[in-house]
Structure 1
Amino acid sequence: MTRPTPFSDEPALEAVARYWTHKRQQDGTRRCMPDRGEIDPLELPPAFWPNLMITEPAAGGAWRYRLVGSAHVERYGMDFTGKTTHDIMQGSYRDYMGAIYHATFHDAVPVYSESVFRWDAAGFAMTRRLMLPLSQGETDRPALVLSIQVWPSAMPIQPRSISDLSRSGGFKDGFFLRLDPDSFQPLPDPTGSKP
């Protein structure tokens, strides 16, 4: 990562990107992604643990949350470990999250995203994510997605559940970038659109 990444100002995302890169190169080969068995959140700074998640594909195009850090539980007022995106989300937000997971998993590349929520009539809150593919037993074949998510803006009011935020009017806007796995620089958008 010699040139600044789209998330170079966010230490947590930078640290997890470096960790993922180290793990996929640690056996002397340059694999597309590390294996889940090589990922140990305890090797990352403790301050980042609450912001981690691991998801896997589920039936019907949904994504199941296998690990949900405590920052997510606190932020959304619920522990959604074991639940799917279809269980807890709806509308355009579920479509948006599905597109990010799809890009990470099916393109086997890191994906950076930002989105904005309307917490109440007067306030918005932004979130930033880095999603990284992981294999599980089969080299360079995605099986899971490791992600770290941060919230740079303070919540103006009490937390709202993901289900509530994904209802009409809660999810304001979002974009995502597919990233080169070596440089973490944006790849050309296959749809031709820009954030």
Structure 2
Amino acid sequence: MKNKILIGLTCLFVLICTVGCANTKENTSVKNDNVKSDTEQTVKSKCSYYECLTKMSLDNTLEELNGIVGFEATKLESTSLDKYEYDFGNDKKITVSISNDKIVSIKIEYDKKELKNKKVTLDNLSDIKARINDGISYDEFKKAVGGVDGTLIEVSSWNKYVWVAEDGSSNVTASFGKDGNLKFFNGLGFKN
């Protein structure tokens, strides 16, 4: 009887050690993979994802943009425009479109949840809509959406910004011309 109990306990001990060691080993490798990709992202670029776009302009050359970001863009397959992409990892990309050897647009893909801000309000946009033809400046628009700066998401013949409310889904994008005035905006989740 003592032998059966001893054998049972030994088997249980071996089983626990085997399962416990297997889980520990697997978790360690996952942690190492995550650390590696985060390190790769920080080492790759000279500026943060959103900050890089604010330093770029249509007057830059592709080589100058490479210098701003800190690594070379990858050429994408495209039919009408030459397109280049800076891949920051984790679905963060900046796309540069070139026509006739001139940069025509620089856009980022963004995550609204990452940009949400509890100070953003979309309740005052009806007034902006009524006055859009009067020439509304960035600062006036900023004040109407809660007094916080928008995040630059596109540089082209205008600068396009996004403001995201605290719920992470209500948002407004606004495009400002080179004269600094609002040209158009589009909102999701605001009162008319």
Shorter-chain TM-score: which interval? under 0.3
Larger % of helix: which?
Answer: 2
Structure of greater relative contact order (alpha carbons < 8 Å, 6+ residues apart): 1
TM (normalized to structure 2)?
Answer: 0.28
- TM-score (ref. length: structure 1): 0.27
